[in-house]
Chain A
Amino acid sequence: MSVPARPTFQKEGPASPCTLHGKNLSWMNCTPLSTAMGVDRSTLGRVRISGCQVRDEIEPPDYVGGTTLKQCSAVAEKHGVDVEVHVGANVCTPRYAAIQLQAGRGFVLQGNTQPDGRGNVNHAYWVNHAGKGSLGAPTSAMVYDPWSNGPEVWSWSDILAFAAALRVNGEDRPEKLGPGKFYCAIYPDTEPHAHFKHGGVKTNPFPDKTLGHSLVAGKRVRVRTGPGLEFPPVPGRTLKTGDLFLVYQAASSKKPLAGSKVWYGNHDGTEWVHKSGLTAIGGSS
């Protein structure tokens, strides 16, 4: 189960040691770590860099204190990831960021941890995907906060409070960003995505909403672990006529079955159904 794509979590502090030019920056790297997670997610794991590497690739070099969204986003760009940065006069609304999140993008969000009880610290984390809710107004989101022990679901209201508390002139000044604005760096849309296996190719539509269709009344359609009868069935997994089976990839078997070698696979290529066991293939949603 990995939709939407998720990065490998990167934790701040001793878990991500970072000494550069004689300075221990491991507790000053929340934006580089969040950026590294954004690059990981945006490339579906093809580019995995550490937060310390992001820090070290900032130009011009900056080994003092924290970093900015612009500095770190420029490093993501160097790794081939387009980033839409919203800071200063170009700040965006939370609704805009939420819609991008719901559409399949993630973002690095700057804020301050005073509202969540960690004290007055300007901070940044990776927001990976939205939970349920309506357009532009999710009820929650999955947050990869480097200053925590792992990914966590945050209520959208807590995320709004974090963003609004950002001390725009530094933590020693009282001015806060306030509600209605997000300092964020929005990453490319990766969704929907699939993990192609067994020579699978992308379906059109992608994904395609197919339905189980048994050729024999009352029988269930078998789901296999690969595209062919030589692959064992997925334990306990069958389709009855009319069951939804969301397919992301198609592949050919070595031998035809009922006149066709075409099999359809799920998002991560772990479940496959022969063409004869499905209907509504390529249909409108």
Chain B
Amino acid sequence: MTDPNELDGMTLEELELQALAKEAAKTPPEVIPDAADLPDDVRDGVASEVA
């Protein structure tokens, strides 16, 4: 039996959180004071076989 509160893999609670987040997401990111000297060009490294 399908739980009526859980539809399409998303609960009503999650849907409500998503709506709340969409509002909050409009706020621009805050400036982080000690980030001024961080480099732009950090590269990923070399991975290896997954165990």
Q: Do A and B bind each other?
A: yes
A residues near B, CB below 8 A? 1-4, 12-13, 27-28, 30-31, 65-70, 86-93, 96, 99-100, 102-105, 110, 118, 121-124, 132-136, 146-149, 166-171, 177, 180-181, 183, 189, 191-192, 207, 209, 236-237, 239, 243-246, 266-268, 285
Least CB distance, A71 to chain B, in whole angstroms: 8
Residue from the list A146, A166, A180, A244 in contact with B7, Cβ < 8 A: A244
* Listed residue (B12, B14, B27, B44) with the most chain A CB atoms within 10 angstroms of its CB: B44
Chain B's nearest CB lies how many Å from the CB of A243? 5
Q: How many A-B residue pairs have CB under 8 A?
A: 154
A87 touches B38 (CB 8 A): yes
Do A87 and B44 have beta carbons less than 8 Å apart?
no
- Least CB distance from B12 to A in Å reads 7
Of the candidates B18, B30, B37, B39, which one forms a contact with A103 in the assembled complex, judged by CB atoms under 8 Å apart? B18
Q: Report which of B8, B38, B43 forms a contact with A3, defined as CB distance below 8 A.
A: B8
Q: How far is the CB of B31 from chain A (nearest CB, A)?
A: 8
| Chain B residues whose C-beta falls within 8 Å of the C-beta of A124 in the assembled complex | 44
Say whether, besides A27-B48, A181-B35, A88 and B43 are in contact (CB < 8 Å). Answer: no
- Cα A89 to Cα B32 with chains together (Å): 8
> Is A168's CB under 8 angstroms from B50's CB?
no
Beta-carbon nearest neighbor of A112 in chain B: B45
Q: A191 to B39, alpha carbons, bound, how many Å?
A: 32
